[in-house]
Amino acid sequence: MKIFTLFFLLLSVLNAGSITVAVAANVSYAIEDLKNAFKIQHPEIKVQTILGSSGKLTAQITHGAPYGMLLSANMLYPQTLYKTHLAITPPKVYAQGQLAYLSNKNRDFTLGMNLLLNKNISKIAIANPKTAPYGKATKEALKNAKIYKKIKPKLIYGESIAQTLFFTTKAADIGIVAKSSLYSKHMQNFKENTQWKTVNRSLYTPINQGIVLLKYAEGNREYRLFYDFILSHKAKSIFEQYGYSVL
Provide the residue ranges of all domains of the chain, joining segments of one domain with +: 2-96+206-241, 98-203
Asked whether the beta carbons of 101 and 190 are under 8 A apart, the reply is: no
* CA–CA dist 78, 57 (Å, integer): 11
Question: Strand 207-213 vs strand 69-71: parallel, antiparallel, or unpaired?
Answer: antiparallel
Is this structure's pTM higher than 0.85?
Answer: no
What sign has the CA pseudo-torsion 23, 35, 209, 227?
positive
Topology of the domain covering 98-203 = D-Maltodextrin-Binding Protein; domain 2 (3.40.190)
Give the three-state DSSP class for 38: helix
Tell me if 2-96+206-241 shares its fold with 98-203.
yes
Task: Identify the pLDDT of residue 16.
Answer: 56
Residue 14 pLDDT exceeds 50:
no
Quick: pLDDT tens for 129-179.
988 889 999 999 999 999 999 999 999 999 888 899 999 999 999 999 999
Cα-trace Rg, the chain: 20
Give the three-state DSSP class for 213: strand
Architecture field, domain 2-96+206-241: 3-Layer(aba) Sandwich (3.40)
DSSP state of 83: H
Residue 25 pLDDT exceeds 80:
yes
